Amino acid sequence: MKPVLLEKAQAALAEVEPMEAQGWAPAESIARQLRWCISFASGETPGPRPGPFSMGLIATREFDMYGDRPDLAALIADVQREIERELG
């Protein structure tokens, strides 16, 4: 179990889920990747990776460069960095 990674991924997902519920494609992709990270950080067997991690790039583009949520973009990018470090 990776409690810090789990907490960060859950916090990011809580902010992304309302956007996902509206059918916004970037949020759907980010949410899918965050759910995989949550399963991994929880110690579950998450199944195959949801492709190459791109949630940090998507978040930077959508929430920082063109949006007004730079803190959310930074959190998602941090989750991606941590999961990639854990996976080697």
Q: What is the pLDDT of residues 18-57, one digit of tens each?
A: 999 999 999 999 999 999 999 999 999 889 998 899 999 9
- Cβ-in-10-Å burial (0-12, 13-18, 19+) of 62 comes to buried
CA distance 3 to 11: 12
- Select the more confidently predicted residue: 54 or 64: 54
**What domain range includes position 40?**
3-87
| Among 10, 12, 6, CA closest to 72 | 12
Domain count for the chain: 1
pLDDT of residue 4: 97
Q: What is the pTM of this model?
A: 0.94
